[in-house]
């Protein structure tokens, strides 16, 4: 404490201290005038004050030094600094008043309280004046003819701070013309000297009227629907709105020193993050032997990253792509973690002998199965390869895990497994049945986690649309009304790990994906994000391809129950597997695989039959699309 006070004393700006000394002396005499002018005792009180001034001034200034008032730079004074001044005045006043109970100073105590109030007003006033003059001088140095006119969306704390920073910084090149805010109580008022010119509905009119050139959204964790709406409204004026960074107090941003950043597609499509119980995931993973298949893929690699952070005893990453496996292995080895070893395994899950060697060698306690063929049009064109990879690969892995007594098995599934209309969704639904059946038979935590599309996955829709826009080509979309669910890969994987920590034997966990989004709206957002105009990029509707659905579904039976996590539902025991029975599933799977190995259409027929049994209603069952079936018949013949 003493060292800190001494350091503060050595840093005292003596011009500031001299100014404060003048204020303290003036305030003391002025307080006497307010309290006793016109009274018979005024002259006696004046003599007493004159005698006390040296001691009084010393006590005031020493207290100011001790509370750090002279650490404040006047031209940047803030409300927090003002509160420090108030504390310094009241502490010194309290000390002075307390001494009057032991020594007769010849003054009424009320003078000291009046003086405290006057001192606070004058001390804060002179510092506020210094800040005002500084900011005015800085503003004068800006060339307002060249400054860009900026509108700030959000007149809350971050908006006020941002406006102040932009206006006081001569290098910012901005002229703040006001706020937009959706709080009716703020509209037509002034905040920090800047008018609130309207709400979201008024945005276009304000931009047009005041010739706005920049719009910055100053709302932390702004809802994606709001950001999309702002983007659409400002896009008509060729304005790309920006978003405050976490530097300003939160939000989705990388650690930079910038006040704001460009809005990204993930901002427009992601949802408000929900809190996750990391303790459950940590308890599940820490100190365990973990195997991740498909570890080089989009989901598998993110699983590997997040699992790696929870310090498993051993992390076995398995993939059939040498390059993808090399990338994630190299990344994990360059990351600091308490994980004792990362083991890359180059293997194909269709090759049972390869897979057996890996499983029996490393004997994992938890398996995350993310290996699968997922691209709908490729799977439709190569149905037998998809059946063997997805269904046989899952069967091989599940059987081997049962043999080595793996306690937890989590399969990554897809919304396309619900009422599938294509080979990809059909194979993934059969994988769900295999895993659920294994969990129910073995009384172990074998489950599937089902979710929709993720942003940024390899070969997904978004990179394709971006390339078409960049190359100046028409955007190809199958149908103007087609919708899809979207989620960020890190959020999806975090929810997978959370769901895995509380699922029971044979469960299917379903991740809530928010509201489905029209593909055409995503395309329009990308056009704006890439600095293009909708008039410059044409959209061509090509029609549904084989195996595609107009909209995706996440729920199969309506029997899904809510859980303690707002974004996770559970279909207990996989539901349909409870009545299909192990023998039915095993017989059908063997028949499907035997036919697929020889490219026989019987494999497709058996696949459709199993799905019809799964729905328990052959009359209403959605089968594989006619085009797919017809093509498979031709292949067989």
The 10s digit of each residue's pLDDT in 474-524 is: 888 888 888 877 778 888 899 899 888 888 899 999 888 777 778 888 888
481 three-class SS = coil
Count: domains in the chain: 3
Q: How far apart are CA 550 and CA 566, in angstroms?
A: 27
In a domain, 248, yes or no: yes
Q: Which of 516, 523, 515, 517 is nearest to 542 (CA)?
A: 523
Give the CATH number, domain containing residue 258: 3.40.50.720
Domain-terminating residue out of 139, 171, 201: 139
**Site of tokens 């004159």:** 50
Pair 399, 548 in one domain: yes
Q: Tell me, what's the pLDDT at 554?
A: 64
Same domain, 477 and 552: yes
Alpha carbon of 480 to those of 316, 475, 483, 541, 594: distances in Å? 43, 12, 9, 7, 40
**In this structure, is the dihedral angle defined by the CA atoms of residues 356, 361, 366 and 370, taken in order, positive or negative?**
negative
Q: Exposed, middle or buried by CB within 10 Å (0-12, 13-18, 19+), for 99?
A: exposed
* Most trustworthy range by pLDDT among 128-132, 162-166, 294-298, 579-583: 294-298
Evaluate whether residue 270 is within a structural domain: no
Q: Which pLDDT score, from 0 to 100, does residue 75 have?
A: 67
Q: Look at 57-61, 132-136, 311-315 and tell me which has the smallest mean pLDDT.
A: 132-136
Structure-token pair, residue 17: 């201290």
Higher pLDDT, 412 or 257: 412
Neighbours of 30 (CB within 10 A): 16
User: In terms of domains, do 311 and 387 share one?
Assistant: yes
For residue 375, is it within any domain? yes
Whether 318 and 403 share a structural domain: yes
Same domain, 109 and 211: no
Segment holding 198, helix H or strand E: none
Instruction: Give the pLDDT mean for 598-603.
Output: 92
Query: Which residues lie across from 216 on neighbouring strands?
Result: 152, 242
Tell me if 635 is assigned to some domain.
no
Residue 141 DSSP SS3 = helix
Pick the more confident residue, 15 or 592: 592
Please give the C-alpha separations between residue 583 and each of 14, 61, 99, 621, in angstroms, as whole numbers. 91, 89, 94, 22
Kindly indicate the confidence band of residue 144, based on its pLDDT and cuts at 50, 70 and 90. Answer: low
Active site (annotated) includes residue 416? yes
Q: Which of 228, 263, 298 is the last residue of a domain?
A: 263
Q: What is the pLDDT at residue 10?
A: 57
Domain boundaries, position 99:
2-139
Asked whether residue 636 is assigned to any structural domain, the reply reads no
Return the closest-CA partner of residue 126 out of 81, 163, 162: 81
Contact 523, 542 (CB under 8 A): no
Comparison of pLDDT for 454 and 500, the residue scoring more: 500
* Annotated active-site residue in 84, 374, 416, 524: 416
The answer to whether residues 523 and 622 belong to one domain is: yes
- Say if residue 8 is exposed, middle or buried (CB neighbours under 10 Å; 0-12, 13-18, 19+): middle
- Of 117, 139, 161, the domain-final residue: 139
The pLDDT, as a whole number, for residue 249 is: 46
φ and ψ at residue 458, rounded to 5 degrees: -60, 130
In sequence order, which residues have a C-beta less than 8 Å from that of residue 171 and are 6 or more positions away? none
- Whether 67 and 197 map to the same domain: the answer is no
Q: Write down the pLDDT at residue 594.
A: 95
Digit-coded pLDDT (tens) for 402-432 = 999 999 999 999 988 888 888 999 999 999 9
Q: What is the pLDDT of residues 167-176, one digit of tens each?
A: 767 667 788 9
254 pLDDT exceeds 60?
A: no
pTM above 0.85, yes or no: no
User: Could you tell me what percent of the chain has a pLDDT over 70?
Assistant: 84
Whether 272 is covered by a domain: the verdict is: no
- Partnered with residue 345 across adjacent β-strands are 318
Summary mean pLDDT of the chain: 83
Most confident residue range from 145-149, 158-162, 290-294, 333-337: 290-294
Q: Are residues 209 and 358 in the same domain?
A: no
**pLDDT-based confidence at residue 346 (cuts at 50, 70, 90):** very high
The predicted model gives 528-549 an average pLDDT of 77
pLDDT score, position 620: 39
The verdict on residue 84 lying in a domain is yes
Regarding whether 446 and 386 lie in a shared domain, the answer is yes
DSSP state at residue 618: G
Task: Evaluate whether residue 92 is within a structural domain.
Answer: yes
- Taking the C-alpha atoms of residue 446 and residue 428, their distance in angstroms, rounded to an integer, is 15
- Beta carbons of 567 and 549 less than 8 angstroms apart: no
**What pLDDT, on a 0 to 100 scale, did the predictor assign at position 212?**
94
pLDDT at residue number 629: 44
The set of residues, in sequence order, having a beta carbon less than 8 Å from that of 462 and lying 6+ positions away, is 265, 455, 456, 522, 526
Q: What is the mean pLDDT of the segment spanning 297-319?
A: 94
Q: Residue 339 in contact with residue 314, Cβ under 8 Å?
A: yes
Place of tokens 């409870």: 578
Q: Measuring CA to CA, how many Å separate 145 from each of 136, 148, 175, 208, 329?
A: 17, 8, 10, 18, 55
Q: What is the pLDDT of residue 545?
A: 73
| pLDDT of res. 294 | 96
Q: What is the pLDDT of residues 361-402, one digit of tens each?
A: 999 999 999 999 988 888 989 999 999 999 999 999 999 999
Instruction: Flag the least confident range among 57-71, 216-230, 476-490, 572-586.
Output: 572-586
Percent share of the chain, pLDDT over 90:
35
Q: Could you tell me if 100 and 122 lie in one domain?
A: yes
Together in a domain, 511 and 432: yes
Q: How far apart are CA 333 and CA 330, in angstroms?
A: 5
Closest CA to 111 of 218, 7, 215, 31: 31
| Strand residue runs (E) in 535-626 | 539-541, 561-562, 568-571
**d(C-alpha 200, C-alpha 191), whole Å:** 18
The yes-or-no verdict on residue 186 having pLDDT over 50 is yes
Sheet holding 214-217, edge to edge: 174-180, 148-153, 214-217, 242-244, 260-262
Cα–Cα distance between 577 and 436 in angstroms, integer? Answer: 7
Identity of the highest mean pLDDT range in 140-154, 273-287, 430-444, 568-582: 430-444
pLDDT for the residue 339? 56
- Please give the Cα distance from 330 to 327 (Å, whole number): 5
How many Å apart are CA 350 and CA 430, to the nearest integer? 16
Please give the DSSP secondary-structure letter assigned to residue 606. H
DSSP assignments along 322-382, one per residue: HHHHHHHHHHHHTS--S-SEEEEEE--TT-HHHHHHHHHHH--SEEEE------HHHHHHS
Q: Are residues 397 and 320 in the same domain?
A: yes
């Amino acid at each position: 404490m003493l060292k800190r006070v001494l350091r503060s004393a050595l840093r005292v700006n003596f011009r500031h201290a001299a100014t404060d000394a003048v204020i303290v002396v003036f305030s003391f005499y002025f307080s006497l005038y307010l309290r006793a002018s016109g009274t018979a005792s005024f002259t006696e009180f004046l003599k007493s004050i004159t005698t006390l001034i040296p001691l009084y001034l010393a006590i005031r200034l020493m207290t100011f030094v001790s509370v750090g008032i002279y650490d404040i730079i006047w031209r940047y004074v803030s409300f927090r600094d003002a509160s420090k001044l108030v504390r310094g005045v009241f502490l010194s006043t309290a000390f002075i008043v307390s001494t009057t109970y032991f020594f007769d100073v010849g003054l009424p105590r009320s003078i000291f309280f009046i003086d405290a109030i006057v001192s606070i007003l004058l001390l804060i006033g002179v510092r506020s004046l210094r800040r005002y003059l500084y900011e005015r001088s800085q503003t004068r140095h800006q060339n307002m003819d060249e400054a860009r006119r900026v509108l700030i969306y959000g007149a809350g704390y971050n908006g006020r701070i941002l406006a102040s920073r932009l206006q006081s910084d001569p290098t910012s090149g901005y002229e703040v013309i006001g706020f937009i805010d959706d709080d009716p109580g703020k509209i037509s008022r002034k905040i920090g000297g800047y008018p609130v010119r309207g709400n979201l509905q008024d945005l276009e009119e304000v931009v047009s009227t005041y010739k706005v050139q920049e719009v910055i959204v100053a709302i932390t964790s702004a809802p994606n629907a709001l950001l999309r709406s702002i983007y659409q409204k400002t896009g008509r004026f060729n304005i790309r709105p920006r978003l405050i960074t976490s530097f300003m107090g939160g939000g989705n941003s990388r650690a930079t020193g910038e006040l704001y950043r460009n809005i990204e597609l993930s901002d427009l499509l992601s949802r408000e993050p929900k809190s996750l119980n990391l303790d459950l995931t940590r308890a599940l993973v820490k100190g365990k032997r973990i195997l991740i298949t498909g570890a080089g893929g989009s989901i598998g690699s993110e699983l590997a990253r997040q699992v790696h952070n929870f310090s498993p005893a051993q992390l076995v990453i398995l993939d059939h792509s040498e390059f993808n496996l090399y990338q994630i292995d190299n990344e994990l080895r360059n990351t600091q973690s308490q994980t004792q070893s990362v083991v890359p395994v180059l293997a194909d899950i269709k090759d049972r002998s390869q897979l057996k060697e890996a499983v029996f060698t490393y004997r994992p306690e938890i398996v995350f199965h993310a290996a699968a063929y997922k691209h709908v049009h490729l799977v439709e064109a190569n149905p037998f390869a998809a059946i063997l990879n997805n269904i046989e690969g899952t069967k091989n892995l599940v059987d081997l895990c049962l043999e080595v007594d793996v306690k937890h098995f989590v399969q990554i599934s897809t919304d396309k497994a619900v009422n599938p209309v294509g080979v990809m969704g059909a194979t993934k639904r059969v994988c769900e049945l295999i895993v659920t059946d294994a969990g129910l038979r073995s009384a172990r935590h074998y489950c599937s986690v089902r979710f929709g599309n993720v942003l940024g996955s390899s070969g997904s829709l978004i990179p394709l649309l971006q390339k078409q826009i960049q190359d100046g080509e028409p955007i190809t979309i199958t149908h103007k009304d087609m919708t899809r669910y979207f989620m960020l890969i890190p959020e999806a994987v975090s929810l997978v790990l959370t769901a895995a920590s509380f699922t029971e034997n044979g469960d299917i966990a379903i991740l809530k994906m928010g509201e489905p989004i029209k593909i055409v709206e995503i395309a329009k957002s990308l056009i704006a994000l890439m600095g293009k105009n909708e008039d410059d990029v044409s959209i061509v509707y090509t029609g549904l391809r084989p195996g595609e659905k107009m909209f995706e579904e996440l729920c199969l039976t309506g029997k899904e129950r809510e859980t303690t996590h707002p974004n996770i539902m559970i279909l207990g025991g996989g539901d349909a597997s409870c009545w299909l029975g192990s023998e039915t599933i095993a017989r059908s799977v063997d028949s499907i695989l035997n036919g697929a190995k020889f490219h026989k259409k019987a494999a497709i027929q058996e696949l459709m039959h199993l799905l019809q049994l799964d729905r328990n209603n052959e009359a209403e069952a959605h089968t594989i699309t006619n085009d797919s079936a017809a093509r498979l018949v031709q292949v067989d013949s």
